[in-house]
């Protein structure tokens, strides 16, 4: 599992800069003006900082971008990172500035020099987010290790924010670890075990086994996993930090591996289906972050854990299954299994907890990638105010999200000759009809958002804030949604 670097907040000590080992990060505004720490670095390097600031290359940098100087003369550092960042810049550019440092953070750690940068907390968070590697199954000597992150600043409030920053980064890393984990390791049982370990953070965790799910009538969920040797499970996580208020519910699709079942996927690229539990992974990361920062809110996280395999016992195209709600579903395609998992868990969450609002997350459709690529998650909602609150939270955190439509006109694509509905509506508007299917399992008085994260949960090329693979998308946005709207 990925380890976060420790964070040490240091009082300004100009004399200590020369002897700082590892990486040193200094900030310059667009006009090249040097603060007192930058002036000391410039003096140590015999004017190198001033010459760089006056050069054409620095002038072309955008806010948050950097230039690195290896083994700067006059300093013990192995690299000096010169970042163009305006003093008042916050948010995405400041996080990207930190990410450039986090990407190269090694055993010797780093020193950030900032006497008065307004977005310093974002720089630190960006560094923590990018200082990640999934190497749990590597046996060589090049395993990813990071040293301490030292921050020299006169900003007294930064020390007070460190615990929250670590909580957020830890939640993102936990999500990434889960999503990156191979399916022979992260079975449904192992996934449940890792979630049970969250009880150490005072999260109440309950695991519902197949007998429990059968008694509850979760037969659409059970049908997905009936061809697998791994038992289907539902894990309920409760964080009670908000007094007597009813909770907000987060629901996650946790298909630990998706072959497509009898409607078998093509072999090419099937290895990527280890990430089909990305929704459940995000819910887990949010719950961990909330608990670590002691959020003053009541939040329920519920994930359905199954494996979709072809077998003599597997469900078939043409089967009719009955949901916990009581609606019947004709299974046209066994590779449209995620909505069968979610619909039962969503109904269970509403019946048991009566949440004030509900968000589900799932790597649900390839269609959303065709529509939005890997830049934005598809957002569907039955409530404009709730949708706007989430979109504002996602924008504030730099996590791309775009609202797509719902409407009764799409229902005709889900009509079945044999049951209340089909589980697929054909190729046209595939991500919309999937959301329209889920909408049938949302009670009229429940504000609801469906997040199709198929394009954002894991990205082969990586992003500015994450290496190749799992991104942890959604942990920050959902944390902010809860902080802004549900904490007392």
Active site amino acids: 265, 339
Q: Which residues, other chains included, contact 396 with Cβ-Cβ below 8 Å and sequence gap of 6+?
A: 91, 480
Long-range CB pairs of 312-318 (<8 Å, 24+ gap) are 312/227, 313/226, 313/227, 314/226, 314/227, 314/261, 314/262, 315/223, 315/224, 315/226, 315/227, 315/261, 315/262, 316/262, 317/262, 317/263
Where in 341-431 does DSSP place strands (E)?
357-362, 377-381, 401-403, 421-422
Looking at 236-378, list the stretches that DSSP marks H as alpha helix, in order from N- to C-terminal side: 278-292, 338-353, 367-372
Distances (CA, A) of 58 to 49, 62, 112, 450: 10, 9, 19, 43
Where in 159-275 does DSSP place strands (E)?
204-208, 233-240, 248-258
**Residue 244 near residue 318, CB atoms below 8 Å:** no
Compute the Cα dihedral for 16, 18, 20, 23 and give only its sign: positive
Distances (CA, A) of 52 to 43, 77, 215, 238, 383: 13, 18, 69, 53, 52
d(Cα 89, Cα 164) in Å, to the nearest integer?
20
Long-range CB pairs of 479-484 (<8 Å, 24+ gap) are 479/168, 479/171, 479/286, 479/289, 479/290, 479/295, 480/393, 480/396, 480/397, 481/359, 481/389, 481/390, 481/393, 482/248, 482/286, 482/290, 482/295, 482/297, 482/299, 483/295, 483/297, 484/389, 484/392, 484/393
d(Cα 250, Cα 355) in Å, to the nearest integer?
10
Residue 413 DSSP label? G
216-246 burial, b for 16+ CB within 10 Å, e for fewer?
Answer: bbbbbbbbbbbbbebbbbbbbbbbebbeeee
**Residue 235 near residue 206, CB atoms below 8 Å:** yes
d(Cα 93, Cα 27) in Å, to the nearest integer?
13
**Residue 257 near residue 276, CB atoms below 8 Å:** yes
d(Cα 324, Cα 401) in Å, to the nearest integer?
30
Q: Which residues pair with 40 in a beta bridge?
A: none
């Amino acid at each position: 599992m990925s380890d976060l670097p420790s964070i040490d907040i240091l009082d300004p000590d100009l004399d200590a800069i020369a002897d700082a080992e590892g990486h040193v990060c200094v900030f310059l505004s667009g006009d090249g003006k040097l603060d007192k720490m930058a002036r000391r670095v410039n003096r140590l390097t015999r004017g190198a900082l001033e010459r760089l600031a006056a050069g054409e290359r620095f002038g072309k940098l955008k806010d948050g971008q950097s230039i690195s100087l290896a083994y700067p003369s006059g300093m013990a550092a192995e690299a000096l990172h010169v970042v163009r960042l305006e003093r008042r810049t916050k948010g995405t550019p400041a996080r990207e500035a930190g990410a450039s440092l986090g990407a190269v953070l090694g055993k010797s750690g780093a020193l950030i020099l900032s006497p008065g940068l307004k977005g310093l907390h974002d720089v630190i968070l960006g560094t923590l987010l990018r200082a990640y590697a999934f190497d749990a199954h590597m046996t060589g000597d090049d395993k990813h290790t990071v040293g301490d992150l030292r921050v020299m600043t006169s900003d007294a409030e930064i020390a007070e924010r460190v615990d929250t920053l670590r909580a957020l980064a830890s939640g993102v890393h936990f999500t990434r670890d889960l999503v990156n984990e191979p399916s022979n390791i992260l079975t449904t049982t192992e996934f449940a075990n890792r979630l049970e370990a969250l009880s150490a953070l005072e999260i109440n965790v309950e695991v519902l086994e197949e007998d429990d799910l059968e008694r509850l009538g979760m037969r659409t969920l059970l049908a997905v996993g009936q061809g697998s040797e791994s038992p289907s499970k539902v894990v309920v996580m409760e964080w009670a930090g908000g007094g007597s208020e009813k909770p907000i519910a987060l629901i996650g699709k946790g298909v630990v591996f998706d072959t497509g079942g009898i409607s078998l996927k093509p072999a090419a690229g099937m290895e990527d289906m280890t990430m089909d539990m990305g929704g459940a992974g995000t819910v887990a990361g949010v719950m961990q972050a909330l608990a670590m920062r002691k959020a003053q809110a009541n939040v329920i996280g519920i994930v359905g854990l199954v494996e979709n395999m072809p077998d003599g016992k597997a469900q078939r195209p043409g089967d009719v299954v009955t949901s916990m709600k009581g609606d019947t579903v004709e299974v046209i395609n066994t590779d449209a299994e995620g909505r069968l998992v979610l619909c039962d868990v969503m109904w269970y969450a509403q019946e048991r907890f009566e949440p004030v609002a509900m968000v589900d997350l799932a790597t649900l459709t390839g269609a959303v990638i065709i529509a939005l690529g890997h830049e934005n998650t598809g957002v569907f909602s039955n409530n404009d105010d709730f949708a706007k609150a989430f979109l504002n939270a996602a924008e504030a955190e730099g996590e791309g999200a775009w609202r797509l439509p719902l409407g009764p006109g799409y229902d005709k694509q889900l009509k079945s000759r044999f049951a209340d509905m089909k589980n697929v509506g054909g190729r046209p508007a595939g991500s919309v009809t999937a959301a329209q299917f889920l909408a049938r399992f949302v009670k009229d008085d429940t504000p609801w958002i469906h997040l199709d994260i198929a394009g954002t949960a894991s990205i082969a090329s990586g992003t500015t804030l994450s290496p190749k693979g799992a991104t942890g998308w959604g942990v920050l946005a959902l944390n902010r949604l809860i902080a802004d709207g549900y904490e007392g």
